[in-house]
Amino acid sequence: MSVHEHKKLLEELGVDVERHAKMMEMGYEGYKNQFMSQTNRPKAMEYFDWFMSEVQGQRIAEINELRKNKKPAIGAFCIFVPEEIIVGAGGACFGLCGGSPATIADAETELPRNICPLIKSAYGFKLQKTCAYTQSADFIYGETTCEAKKKTWELLNKHHPVKVMNIPHMKREKDLKMWKEELSEFKEHMEEITKKPLTFEEMKNGVKIVNEKRFALQRLDRLRSMNGSDVIPISAKDALFITQISFLDDPIRFTQKLNDLCDELEQRVKENNSVYKKETPRLMVLGTPFALPNWKLHTAVETSGGAIVNEESCIGHRYYKDNVDIDEIKDEDSLMEKLLQKYSSVDCACFTPNTPRIDKILQMYKDRKLDGVIYYSLSFCHTYNVEAKLVTDALEKEGIPALVIESDYSPEDAGQIKTRVEAFLESINFKKMKKN
């Protein structure tokens, strides 16, 4: 698609083209500075670098090509939206822009200041019309995992078509039964777009495609820190960026490119080629998601001599840890049942109780031979913030070093975060030294 044609498409989508162009340019500059300046990067990152250069270019054109053919284009904020069904319908499921401070002042003209920056940022992108993903969404598919989002849908619906999936906050049998009904309703909403019934075979194909994507992400996770050596073959920022892109890219192409990268990472492990110095403290980040381009914490850790080898976040391990048991799928009902099983395994802090999350975290810590964890919460995220106490109590009991950070998207606290991370890494290094 020519530059001229693309501009025309953006205009048709109602994008504020001029402002959008400026934001894209700034975003790409930021990426080049923070990512492409890294040394010893895997060669296969080239694809992801290219994707960033076309993040609202070719990908937006592809999504709108699908829309022309009555395929659904669904924008989401949450990993509970069953992308298998969208992909099965031949459509695209994508994460809405929501990681930038540049739209927050606009959002605050309609939303309270003291809610999570992810919601405000995304809402601001809609008001500004500076996200081509948001503008391309047939529906923004909301859910009820947090009350700030739940109530924001009522406002956002005045600016864009919104549907809401009611996610229960307990996992009793009756809650799961209702959840399954939500999955069926979700399917019906896709059929409103495609104007034809979505077949069992199509949905099963969607499950297959998304399973493959999750397998590739699991493979990346293992290669980062469970590869049988101390080698960390990819930087934390690159690995995070790949996970961020998994919410935007075409899943088949993405899976192929990620597997290519993993092949290269395997080779690097064999060759003892680590992007970090020996003895670099290995950290895991727990908590809330890092939406593109929120790289603040990762930058702070990497510039302070630490390595992050896993994000236990929704843009991270929580997203890809479970697959849909495709072998047990015989018909539409069992497909919905297995989808439900996958989604209800998600250990979001919206659930009460949510104790399996704590057991999982302790296990992840052991499996990845970590030195410490950072509990990261977006500001004003009540669920993850309150749950932090239960998690850090459990970590303390096991003698696991933990740092709790609450932050938003403003660059103002970057220095303070770096100082805290440095002190945390120092205490870890001191502990390691004493041990040896």
Chain contacts with its own copies (rule: CB under 8 A): 110-112, 114-115, 144, 146-148, 150-155, 164, 166, 169-170, 174, 178, 181, 349-350, 352-354, 379-380, 382-383, 385-390, 406
Residue with Cβ nearer its own copies (134 or 383): 383
Instruction: Answer whether the bond into residue 112 is a cis peptide, omega within 30°.
Output: no
Find out whether 245 and 133 touch, Cβ atoms under 8 Å.
no
Return the half-sphere exposure (C-beta side, CA atoms, 13 A cut-off) of residue 310: 29
Residue with Cβ nearer its own copies (115 or 207): 115
Find out whether 295 and 308 touch, Cβ atoms under 8 Å.
no
- 330 token code pair: 């015989």
Residue with Cβ nearer its own copies (386 or 423): 386
Residue with Cβ nearer its own copies (151 or 418): 151
Residue with Cβ nearer its own copies (66 or 390): 390
Q: Minimum CB separation from its own copies for residue 148, in Å? A: 4
Residue with Cβ nearer its own copies (120 or 213): 120
Q: Minimum CB separation from its own copies for residue 74, in Å? A: 19
DSSP code of residue 293: T
Count of beta carbons in the 10 Å neighbourhood of residue 171 = 16
Residue with Cβ nearer its own copies (45 or 378): 378
- 119 token code pair: 């919601």
Q: What is the CA radius of gyration of the chain?
A: 21
Between CA 266 and CA 272 the distance in angstroms is 10
Tell me what percent of the chain is helix, strand and coil, each rounded to the nearest 5.
55, 10, 35
Residue with Cβ nearer its own copies (161 or 353): 353
Residue with Cβ nearer its own copies (147 or 271): 147
Alpha carbon distances (Å) from 291 to 78, 91, 124, 158, 376: 11, 22, 14, 24, 13
Between CA 35 and CA 41 the distance in angstroms is 9
Q: Minimum CB separation from its own copies for residue 381, in Å? A: 9
Q: Minimum CB separation from its own copies for residue 48, in Å? A: 35
The side-by-side arrangement of strands in the sheet containing 282-287 is: 307-312, 282-287, 372-378, 402-407
Between CA 114 and CA 104 the distance in angstroms is 11
Q: Minimum CB separation from its own copies for residue 142, in Å? A: 9
Q: Minimum CB separation from its own copies for residue 178, in Å? A: 6
Count of beta carbons in the 10 Å neighbourhood of residue 103 = 25
Q: Minimum CB separation from its own copies for residue 432, in Å? A: 30
For 19, phi and psi rounded to 5 degrees?
-60, -40
Q: Minimum CB separation from its own copies for residue 407, in Å? A: 12
- Return the HEC string of 90-158: CCEEEECCCCCHHHHHHHCCCCCCCCCHHHHHHHHHHHHCCCHHHHHCCEEEEECCCHHHHHHHHHHCC
Residue with Cβ nearer its own copies (136 or 383): 383
Q: Minimum CB separation from its own copies for residue 236, in Å? A: 26
Q: Minimum CB separation from its own copies for residue 117, in Å? A: 13
Alpha carbon distances (Å) from 415 to 26, 48, 161: 21, 28, 40
